[in-house]
């Protein structure tokens, strides 16, 4: 009975859907997190009677044909890279990107990681780094004895040093952007790597040539919307239940057959 | 006498197929742009008639499935807010250029590829009625897609540029469409532009499977199957007791 296997594909798909939703909900408070969505597609169809096939010598054709579907599959888990809301933190090393772009981070492996999570700190040498201590590229060093740090919308970092009247420019932040952000390879810890699908990184100063501007003292909240996620969760749960009903129905029919007296 | 069994068998076979189709509908209850299907049944035109002309025995009528009907009704539009999600409101399909030729879909969950073209999740470019695709400008704002499908971007100088067009196409004979899987259809027919269909950005068309109807038809199918099995069983009993009685009389 084909229905059993078809219902199994439906249940497997909904299970994956629930897993994706639960990952979104778990990361509701992760800075810079982008929600994901499981996308389903119908599986191949078996042609029992092909539409358009000739049904007689007089040239009549089968108007619809019989195409039997074989269930559902996961086409992709797509990352929706819409802007998250800005949360005010008043921490001078917290940066949020308003618009397109990613911060570039020097990973210990030597690769460049990309992230939207701008909750940075400084290390013992005064270098701007992530919460893991990985350095932000290009490197910014805040001189010792600085009383305040100002980061402009276009990424210029200025430090006020005690005893000096004018702030000193200590660096310029750069962002990277990709043609297909959804194609980036997520490696956890809020980092992404460039992939064949994302295209090559194009770097540039913030707030210029389509790149987003920086906001100091803010972090970008995750773009997960609790209400949407809960609604999707209900839909997924019900869909799972319905597919299990099909398994039940198929089982009942099979048992009716096997109880036939010979 | 055996005719009852064969008629019953023909019904059992169609019921199983009906269940397969209901199962496929339900497996795709969350598949964007999916259209619900139903098996069409008819009396087998090749059913043998009763023996001899003027016979009191009527013809034996088997049941046969002669096609799958699809309901191309609009699925519910769900707001996702994603830039590259588009849905068609009204009749029509998006055209996708695959390596096997043009394919048609109602699933408008697109994305951009590494060459900055608007593509499906399988990486096939989305094209308009004339066959030209959409290439976005990475330096400009995220694209805005109008109701008529015009894709525009605002560049850094505030200038609005048209970078392409999405268009809906339609067919004279919808039942000639063949499902190819991956939410795609193919058609031997050349489509015409469907200018009255609205294109909505940030929306996804849900599957038009109605869970209520499907569950009801599921109950229907199981019960009908049990009934016909019961009928076959009592027919068996009948022939058994007939043999026993006739045997005794002799």
What is A17-76 written as a DSSP string? HHHHHHHHHHTTTSTT---EEEEEEE--EEEEE-TT-B-STT--B-SS-EEEE--EEEEE
Mean pLDDT of A187-191: 92
Q: Is B72 on the interface with A (CB under 8 A)?
A: no
* pLDDT at A177 > cutoff 70: yes
Task: Supply the pLDDT for residue A50.
Answer: 64
- Residues in Cβ contact with B240 at an 8 Å cutoff, skipping those fewer than 6 apart: none
| B96 neighbors B184 (Cβ within 8 angstroms) | yes
Interface mutation target, options A15, A18, A75, A201, chain B, most CBs of B under 10 Å? A75
Name the minimum distance, in Å, from the CA of B180 to any CA of chain A: 6
Q: Is A252 on the interface with B (CB under 8 A)?
A: yes
* pLDDT at A5 > cutoff 60: yes
What does pLDDT average to over chain A? 90
**Tokens standing for residue A30:** 């992760």
Mean pLDDT of A198-213: 88
Task: Supply the pLDDT for residue A22.
Answer: 95
Task: Supply the pLDDT for residue A222.
Answer: 95
Task: Supply the pLDDT for residue B4.
Answer: 83
Please state, as a whole number, how many other Cβ atoms lie within 10 Å of the Cβ of residue B141. 17
A220 phi, psi to nearest 5 deg = -90, 120
CB contact under 8 A, A246 and B23: yes
Question: Which pLDDT band, with edges at 50, 70 and 90, does A52 fall under?
Answer: low
CB contact under 8 A, A69 and B221: no
Task: Supply the pLDDT for residue B57.
Answer: 66
Give per-residue pLDDT as tens, A54-67. 667 777 766 677 88
Please state, as a whole number, how many other Cβ atoms lie within 10 Å of the Cβ of residue B213. 13
What's the pTM value of the predicted model, to 2 decimals?
Answer: 0.84
Strands A66-69 and A45-49, how do they pair?
antiparallel
Task: Supply the pLDDT for residue B64.
Answer: 84
Out of A1, A66, A236, closest to residue B67 by CB: A66
CB contact under 8 A, A3 and B111: no
- Under-50 pLDDT residues of chain B: none
Q: Is the ipTM of this complex over 0.90?
A: no
* pLDDT at A220 > cutoff 80: yes
* pLDDT at A260 > cutoff 80: no
| Range B21-56 burial, b when 16+ CB lie within 10 A, else e | bbbbbbbbbbbbbbbbbbbebeebeeeeeeeeeeee
* pLDDT at A90 > cutoff 70: yes
């Amino acid at each position: 009975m084909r229905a059993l296997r078809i219902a199994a594909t439906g249940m497997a798909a909904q299970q994956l859907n629930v897993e994706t939703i639960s990952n979104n909900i778990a990361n509701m408070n992760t800075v810079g997190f982008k929600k994901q969505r499981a996308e389903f597609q119908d599986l191949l169809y078996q042609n029992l009677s092909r539409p358009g096939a000739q049904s007689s010598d007089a040239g009549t054709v089968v108007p619809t044909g019989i195409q039997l579907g074989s269930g559902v599959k996961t086409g992709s888990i797509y990352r929706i890279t819409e802007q998250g809301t800005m949360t005010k933190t008043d921490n001078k090393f917290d940066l949020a990107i308003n618009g397109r772009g990613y911060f570039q981070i020097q990973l210990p492996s030597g690769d460049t990681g990309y992230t939207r999570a701008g909750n940075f700190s400084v290390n013992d040498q005064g270098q701007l780094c992530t919460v893991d201590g990985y350095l932000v590229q290009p490197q910014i060093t805040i001189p010792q004895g600085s009383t305040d740090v100002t980061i402009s919308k276009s990424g210029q970092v200025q430090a006020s040093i005690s005893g000096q009247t004018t702030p000193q420019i200590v660096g310029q932040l750069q962002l990277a952007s990709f043609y297909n952000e959804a194609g980036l390879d997520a490696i956890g810890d809020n980092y992404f790597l460039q992939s064949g699908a994302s295209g090559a990184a194009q770097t540039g100063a913030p707030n210029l040539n389509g790149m987003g501007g920086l906001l100091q003292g803010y972090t970008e909240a995750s773009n997960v919307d609790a209400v949407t996620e809960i609604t999707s969760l209900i839909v997924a749960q019900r869909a799972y239940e319905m597919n299990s009903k099909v398994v039940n129905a198929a089982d009942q029919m099979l048992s009716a057959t096997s109880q036939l007296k010979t | 006498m055996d005719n009852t069994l064969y008629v019953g068998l023909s019904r059992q076979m169609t019921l199983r197929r009906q269940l397969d189709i209901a199962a496929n509908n339900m497996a795709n209850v969350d598949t964007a742009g999916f259209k619900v299907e139903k098996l069409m049944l008819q009396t087998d035109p090749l059913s043998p008639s009763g023996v001899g002309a003027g016979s009191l025995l009527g013809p034996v009528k088997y049941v046969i499935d002669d096609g799958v009907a699809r309901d191309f009704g609009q699925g519910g539009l769900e707001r996702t807010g994603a830039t590259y999600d588009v849905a068609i409101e009204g009749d029509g399909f998006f055209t996708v250029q695959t390596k096997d030729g043009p394919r048609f879909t109602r699933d408008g969950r697109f994305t951009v590829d590494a060459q900055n073209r608007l593509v499906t999740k399988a990486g096939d470019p989305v094209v308009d009625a004339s066959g030209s695709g959409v290439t976005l400008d990475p330096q400009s704002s995220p694209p805005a897609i109008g109701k008529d499908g015009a894709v525009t971007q605002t560049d850094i100088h505030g200038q609005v540029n048209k970078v392409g067009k999405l268009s809906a196409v339609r067919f004279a004979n919808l039942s000639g469409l063949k499902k190819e899987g991956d939410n795609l259809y193919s058609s031997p027919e050349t489509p015409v532009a469907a200018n009255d269909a609205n294109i909505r950005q940030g929306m996804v068309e849900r599957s038009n499977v109605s869970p209520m109807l499907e569950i009801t038809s599921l109950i229907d199918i199981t019960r009908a199957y049990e009934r016909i099995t019961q009928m076959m069983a009592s027919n068996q009993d009948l022939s058994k007791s007939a043999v026993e009685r006739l045997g005794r009389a002799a």
